[in-house]
Structure 1
Amino acid sequence: MQKTIFITGASSGLGKTTAKLFHSKGWNVIATMRNPESETELTQLENVSVLRLDVTDPKELEDTIAQVLAENEVDVVLNNAGYGLIGPLEAFTDEQIKKQIETNLMGVIRITKAFTPYFRQRKEGVLINITSSFGLIGFPTCSIYSATKFAVDGFSECMGYELAEFGVRVKVVAPGGIQTDFAGRSLDGAQHEGYSRLMEKVQEEYSPEKIVDYSKPEIIAEVIYQAATDGKDQLRYVAGKDAVALYKERNTIGAEKHVQKIKSQFLG
């Protein structure tokens, strides 16, 4: 029987790449995005439905998922929608902070809550939440972004316990750097003159020389496919060579020593 995946944030980058991968594997794909009228590639694919969905709009979210479940049997839900808010905390407005939390955290919570009764009654299903290596390890100028990603990681672990007796698996995919247009399309930021030295050091990590070593989105999409289909009772999938190396180092030397290493890296 053909399986179905529901994806948020599928307009570009990792979301679109993942939609195309699952389509190539014979899945039915429900690709959601804020502006489906602008989509020209996924709309040409058979067994791919493109729907409007802004995860920060509770009413639209509720209506869209009700429509989807009335017309489809969904096997996997991928919470991918999100963006980065980069800069020192002092520079952010309250509106920026709220928007980051609404998109990266509340969107995941709302989507999960909407699908939970369906999966619980069905007694099977997989919920996959995209976090980040910065949802496992802190990084300067990523305070609010990391707060949302750490929160999604903890939320996912808790939901995994809640849904285990119903045969529903909750998983997290934590990528490192990805070679997409995320930095230009899905990145918001702010500057503060008091942190100019730190910002210069952080900017070095996003230089063209560093970005070429990031993972291609196809690599991360393969990890998502693995998480969706391997049948394992596994919570976290760290994706990308940089993320795997960073996470391994932290676990090897311990969190406290790793914190001191990062401080030394940026403070000298």
Structure 2
Amino acid sequence: MPPTDASTDTDAGTDTDASADTDAGTAGEDTVDLRLPDELVALFSVDEPTETTDGDLLDSVAGWGPATTPVGTFQLVPVRIGRDLTLISRWMNDPAVAAFWELSGPETVTAGHLRAQLEGDGRSVPCLGVLDATPMSYFELYRADLDPLARHYPARPHDTGVHLLIGSVADRGRGVGTALLRAVADLVLDHRPRCTRVIAEPDLRNTPSVSAFLSAGFRFSAEVDLPEKRAALMVRDRVLRHLL
């Protein structure tokens, strides 16, 4: 789970960070290191026989399609290491990003982080955020209810978490992060009918990041003591999505 947030923004023009990660090579817990029994994974992934999915834990992110946002047409595209590694590694070596994600260094560092997700059980899906046909951000969608985070808050089945970094400095500080956070939360709620909440856990000290989530329709739920930080648990509720 991420200790803080990396490289998004608020509408007021302040560079901020949204739900970053420390998975590979850090002392904290991470999204992909908690091994659950196959029977439990199956219980969470197959609930209602009326639901049509491809059987994966996040309901086929690759097929979700584009979304129209105030900043352009946006789409989540699942990562392919051979195609995307150099770009994502370059973003991870941006000092503003590296301070939170802790994945700076040679491409092998980022490759290991990506491969752990791509070769895992599907509880975390790394994606490029493509805006108007240009890859410009990196997202991780993950099953928060199957993540170590679930030890620290009252998780519900199918809670879906989001981590985000904005790759280009030019896309920071002008409302892009807020727009994309809202778009991704809406995509999750549109395509994951069993998910009632989208979850994030920015560092409580990162006021601009918390503000970005609030502007994107999330609500502040609680302060949560995680192994590597005190976090603001942010929640976007399905029942409130058209009100916030």
TM exceeding 0.5? no
What's the TM-score, normalizing by structure 1?
Answer: 0.33
TM-score normalised by length of structure 2: 0.35
Q: Which protein has the bigger strand share?
A: 2
Q: Between Structure 1 and Structure 2, which shows a larger proportion of helix residues?
A: 1
